[in-house]
Structure 1
């Protein structure tokens, strides 16, 4: 006797049946809260490009922006994770100085091989993060207080290590990380003004990145269609794929026309991809959002909150050490005043990039975008000959506007419900 087919479309042991054909609904999905940061970056770039007569987007200047603000972007990656979890770290500038000083002593005074010194510096940064993470996670002291104390403690440690004087020079490999560029492997392209002088290997890397970005978006769209979830119309989807691809290729070509891709940009790309995968795919990443979104619910659901918070601060210490090595290598000197105000720039990058004041919201790519906004403002106003007080005024206004927009959007959402 044959069983009658059910109307649910579910077969025993096989899960939901896939819909036949492309039956997903189409809708124009534009979230101003998610997309606003990219629009803001575009507007800032267009504004300063016009004000500087195009100098902002020149090959050498784009390279300078990446090299000069790379350490802030590294710090922003760790900072946004801390903020997502509902905490803050005010000590990262001092930790950058302390780890840079520690690396200088090992490489300059002790003459240790640079790989050994780099590993030891990263371990030193992890120990600093573990120290602060212990007081926050297991002693329940607010992170604001712990890291404020750390700001003073590790600045004092820096002065003690250096004896209140600068120390250098660093090995060539460390200087290359801070200031160097990858060599050209396949020669330059001589195709007129647009690609003239661009390194072919860099162009191939750029194409690979663009193809990877497109494949990720195509797979995500296909997955939504399989489950009959709403997707963008094809014209809008194609636009969302094409615009970032064009911008990435323009950026790569301009860098390749100057002195090729900076090594620090390669390091940043690896960090962004790695941490994006952790936050989007790994269990630990989901736990970070759970802790920041609803601490009580995360605890009741079995998340080891104390462990998550502890390892977040360890991670911040390691990334601060990375930034410390980059900064010292760029200057070829470890100084007692290194890292001043870095924590403010990193925090601003995270909040401008969409992180919520209350925690539970934020993205690594958003923090990088926020950091780029700060970098473009700094660089653009420098090209215009603005004074430091004017730069600080603009940056403060941008930060306030970003946080105010976050608060306003939350109130608007709550009111709609």
Structure 2
């Protein structure tokens, strides 16, 4: 393969998926320049992780909902409700911190089952069910908190979103433990990618050229290690980043390598064909919303830990941020397309843009306008790709 053909393959093969990574690098580079490098400083990178982790957790569940052809407008209210339940038990009634977390997860599962029942078994569109849920669960939050805020949580609860793992290994100006964990993650990613490539070759499926495969692994590894080095120079490895990493890994496996994941894609891609193929559509849709409820509860625990309390207005507009992350990350408006990693990159783009504009002192109203335009352009790109593909087939 010549250098020209390799370059062409990088920028034309699966443009929809690769383009988002190129855009992410460009946006990070732009704001790094505009903020005189403050964006990439150790303290600021740590703050980005802590500030946007709950949005990324929501985006994991939301992208599965969107792939199946649905939408969930209630996740912000569920974040508030689960945080409120946890706060009432732990702060008001003096229960152990872990009881509050378990109660929040239980409430999230019940909420997901409630909405999954109406969507899957009654047949009401998810847009209507979750719009009703947004109002219902916000009202329940006000009832649980009795219209007042509760704080503070005990120190153990606060560590969920504000704790760090560091100091296990000595370092000179940086935390070696953070670098070791990052290195293990890179090695794991490389091994997993190589095994996936070998499996695809065994079944004579198309794969990227080996030099490009190696280049991709090296570039991703370099970015991860550079990011970890900056974290290690601040406070070490955030606990919430470990939680997020485990969730991303687990749900990447679920969506790409399990029967449930294949069924989700088939339902979103062609519902009628999925039904004819024997997919239990109602059951799959039910569990999609149970899963969204659980992830909303995890996000609720993380957010309440981060804010060190529960507020009636918590989670406001979180659903829009999560939905935007999915669409910017490559999910299709008509379902059947999307990846967990793409949603993560989309969420990081939103986070970097927000953080960068805050560092530059840009007015909040202008920030909202810019983020709205980015979302509009992402959806327009989705529609453009569909039309181009349709024209090519015809």
Question: What's the TM-score bracket when you normalise by the shorter of the two chains?
Answer: over 0.9
Of residues 249, 261, 269, the one that matches 1:285 is 261
Is the 1:28–1:233 contact (alpha carbons within 8 Å) kept by the matching residues of 2?
no
CA distance in 2, matches of 1:393, 1:313: 31
Relative to structure 2, which stretch is displaced further, 379-388 or 117-126?
A: 117-126
Note if 1:403 corresponds to 2:379: yes
1:270 counterpart residue number: 246
Is the 2:118–2:124 contact (alpha carbons within 8 Å) kept by the matching residues of 1?
yes
Q: Offset at 1:229?
A: 4.1
Q: Offset at 1:179?
A: 1.2
Relative to structure 2, which stretch is displaced further, 375-384 or 325-334?
A: 325-334
Is the 1:174–1:326 contact (alpha carbons within 8 Å) kept by the matching residues of 2?
no
Deviations 1:230-263 (A, max 9, x none): 4433332221111101000000110011000110
Q: Offset at 1:226?
A: 3.5
Kindly tell me the number of residue pairs found equivalent between the two proteins.
385
Provide the TM-score with structure 1 as the length reference.
0.90
1:94 counterpart residue number: 77
CA distance in 1, matches of 2:267, 2:320: 24
Of residues 274, 288, 293, the one that matches 1:312 is 288
Alignment partner of 1:334: what SS? coil
Of residues 167, 174, 185, the one that matches 1:209 is 185
Q: CA RMSD in A?
A: 1.3
Q: Whose helix proportion is higher, 1 or 2?
A: 2
In structure 1, runs of 5+ residues without a counterpart are 1-25, 191-196
Alignment partner of 1:198: what SS? coil
Alignment partner of 1:122: what SS? helix
Larger Rg belongs to: 1
Change (3 A) 1:309 1:400: same
Change (3 A) 1:230 1:79: closer
Provide the TM-score with structure 2 as the length reference.
0.95
Note if 1:43 corresponds to 2:19: no
2:131 counterpart residue number: 148
Q: Offset at 1:109?
A: 1.5
2:361 counterpart residue number: 385
Q: Offset at 1:116?
A: 2.0
2:108 counterpart residue number: 125
CA distance in 1, matches of 2:159, 2:276: 48
Of residues 149, 158, 162, the one that matches 1:179 is 162
Alignment partner of 1:232: what SS? coil
1:351 counterpart residue number: 327
CA distance in 2, matches of 1:103, 1:116: 8
Change (3 A) 1:296 1:227: closer
